[in-house]
Amino acid sequence: MSEQALRVDEAELRGLVDGRWAHVRERARDVIRGELYAPVYGLSVEEHRERTLTQLSALAKTDMPSYGFPASVGGKDDVGASVVAFEMLVADLSLMVKMGVQWGLFGGAIRALGTERHHTEYLPRVMSMEMPGCFAMTETGHGSDVQQLRTTATYHPITEEFVVRTPDEAARKDYIGNAARDGRMAVVFAQLRADGEDHGVHALLVPIRDEDGNPMPGVRIEDCGPKAGLNGVDNGRLWFDGVRVPRVNLLNRYGTVAPDGTYSSPIQNPNRRFFTMLGTLIRGRISVAGGAGSATKAALTIALRYADTRRQFTRPGIDGAPEQEVRILDYLAHQRKLLPALARTYALHFAQEELVTRLHELSRAPRRDEHAQRELESRAAGLKAIATWHATETIQTCREACGGAGYLAENRIPQLKADSDIFTTFEGDNTVLLQQLTKGLLTNFQDSFGDLDTMGLARFMAGRVFETVIERTAAIPLIDRLIAASPGRGDEADLYNRGWQLELLEDREKHVIEGLAGRLRRSGKDGDAFEVFNRAQDHVLAAGRAHMDRVVLEAFVAGIDRCGDKSTAKLLNRLCDLYVMSVIEEDRAWFLEHERLSTGRSKAVTRAVDDLCRGLRPYAVRLVNAFGLRDEWLGAPIALGAEHARQGDPAPDRG
């Protein structure tokens, strides 16, 4: 970092972070305020649930629910805006999740899987909260493996009804938001049986409570009870004992049953039909990645503001001045705790914005682009996993960085920690999602994984990776490629060459995936596809992580390219350098083992992290303030002591 202080344009920085949907973020800042939305702690489970329902009902009277719904029913048809609005509910993650259940999962499933008749009849009541609902997919025995769900919906042509049944305890719908207390209707995913044949998993609208709140005949409901966090969300379990629902309650965009029981679908291949239906529900996974990012930003804002004011131990005064107590953010060890995490949070923010933009544009495309949809699903799986793991790790780091103050409920971090912990396993277990991402890289998400043998997978992936790297490398200036050709050589200034950084992460990704393809090829002679893939799971997960590190870096670079102010861009470029250097430092063993870095170069990476932390220290509070989280959303007294750092030039570098 240059010794000369950068005069960062705060409006430019905020505008860049707010991004394409800045108007939605500003609207949220106007709406989510006052006592109703301020963070609270110490509530009983029932009090918290009642408060969350009151908050959600108040939001229903604003325009925020309308973003993700069709204009034909009074919505704004802006899927991107709906995801960003979800991200902004960081004042109470229970409200964030309950909003996601009602308008994202429940309403989103009706929109994505239903037809115009379902939209007209149900969506206005979903938006207004007249019809609180549930998304009943997960079962006790089957979570990630949706294709093997055991709940059945059998069609009876005489009565023109489906009979929904839970065959055993493992098939009960489990952990269903809105089920324990508030839900009236559920989108139930079940194995569809009609005309004597099984047609795979489909979704039906099943009433679970009457207008008085009593369970409907044949519906059994159980409260999941207190959880580690998110106790404002009423998670419950559902059983169905011969529950009858009309034929028209089948959400039949991708498969319909005629009155006589004849099944038809515009997609003949059952596997393709299943994955197409699931692909339409990807908004929930993308929203969880954004929500995790918001929780991370809140924790970092609290921890960095506190670190800028908390003093501990002394240093000698300069030119005979008395001793001064040292701000804890001036200690390099403290900077190393928080600033690399801040850099990665910025990187993930730009990657999330890019992903939301892709989702939004695909939702508006006149025709479904299968290739683009598969890429979106793979990217969403990877980003959700990386962002939620980052949230869990960073919030814990922030707790420790705040010492005892970070353990107090009044300072919010314990609640953020408890509420966001589940993000690593809901909307897809992270380990499973990274495997899904890598399978997508290996097969381009063909009709089903089994359509390619192991040898075919290896050949396909080796060719794809080679073509992709050649294509990307061609876009890098020649001088950068020449520097990258000798990644173990050069002086320390080369570490900050963006072309070299991109090439290094691309090279690791290419090597790991090609190695995986070769491993699968060699093991394919065993003939047991499960064992072949199971033995390589460590390699599979490493490939997914390497891919996402490169993708996130590219998104960060693209975000900086949109910055119009040179000083602000320079600051963000240094933050981007810190992201890259910390990623390389984390995986130094791989880079050394594979001779991508010399030992001297590896040590230079560590020195670079130190230098970047020291150089970014004066701008740390300014960088978290750019997230635009209102003080009342943070709800932490220790976060309110750095008002001086929000105005004027940054403090001198004390590191």
Q: Is residue 584 part of a domain?
A: yes
93 residue type, one letter: L
Beta carbons of 270 and 191 less than 8 angstroms apart:
no
Are 294 and 206 in a shared domain? no
Beta carbons of 187 and 205 less than 8 angstroms apart:
yes
Are 436 and 531 in a shared domain? yes
Q: Is residue 541 part of a domain?
A: yes
Are 408 and 541 in a shared domain? yes
CATH number reported for the structural domain that contains residue 576 in this entry = 1.20.140.10
Burial class (CB in 10 A: 0-12, 13-18, 19+), 351: buried
Tokens of 296: 């991370």
Q: Is residue 211 part of a domain?
A: yes
Q: Is residue 298 part of a domain?
A: yes
Report yes or no on whether pTM surpasses 0.95: no
Nearest alpha-carbon partner for 591 in 647, 475, 511, 478: 511
CA distance 447 to 274: 10
CA distance 251 to 187: 9
Beta carbons of 233 and 50 less than 8 angstroms apart:
no
Are 220 and 290 in a shared domain? no
Are 619 and 556 in a shared domain? yes
Beta carbons of 384 and 285 less than 8 angstroms apart:
yes
Q: Is residue 520 part of a domain?
A: yes
Q: Is residue 577 part of a domain?
A: yes
Are 140 and 251 in a shared domain? yes
The dihedral region occupied by 628, where left means phi > 0, alpha psi between -120 and 50, and beta the remainder, is left
Own/partner contacts of 334-338, CB < 8 Å, gap of 24 or more, are 334/307, 334/401, 335/613, 335/614, 335/616, 335/617, 335/620, 335/655, 336/609, 336/610, 336/613, 337/397, 337/400, 337/401, 338/300, 338/303, 338/304, 338/307, 338/397, 338/398, 338/401, 338/620
H-helix or E-strand containing 193? Answer: strand 185-194
Are 301 and 245 in a shared domain? no
In 3-state terms, what secondary structure has residue 197? Answer: strand
The count of structural domains within the chain is 2
Q: Which residues of the chain have pLDDT under 50?
A: 1-2, 444-452, 454-455, 457-489, 642-655
Are 211 and 356 in a shared domain? no
Helix, strand, coil: what percent of the chain each, to 5? Answer: 60, 10, 30
C-alpha atoms less than 13 angstroms from C-alpha of 569 in its C-beta half-sphere = 10
CA-based angle 358:359:362, to the nearest 5? 85
Beta carbons of 161 and 244 less than 8 angstroms apart:
yes
Tell me what pLDDT residue 365 has. Answer: 87
- Label each residue of 56-110 as H, E or C: HHHHHCCCHHHHHCCHHHCCCCCHHHHHHHHHCCCCCHHHHHHHHHHHHHHHHHH
179 residue type, one letter: A
Tell me what pLDDT residue 95 has. Answer: 98
Are 447 and 567 in a shared domain? yes
List 190's β-bridge partners, or say none: 202
User: Which residues 6+ apart lie within 8 Å of 228 measured at CB?
Assistant: 418, 421, 422
Are 347 and 475 in a shared domain? yes
Strand 152-156 and strand 185-194: pairing? parallel
Range of the domain at 194: 134-268
In 3-state terms, what secondary structure has residue 206? Answer: strand
Q: Is residue 20 part of a domain?
A: no
Tell me what pLDDT residue 5 has. Answer: 81
Are 392 and 500 in a shared domain? yes
CATH number reported for the structural domain that contains residue 161 in this entry = 2.40.110.10
In 3-state terms, what secondary structure has residue 230? Answer: coil
Q: Is residue 115 part of a domain?
A: no
Tell me what pLDDT residue 431 has. Answer: 94
Tell me what pLDDT residue 655 has. Answer: 32
In 3-state terms, what secondary structure has residue 596? Answer: coil
Are 348 and 471 in a shared domain? yes
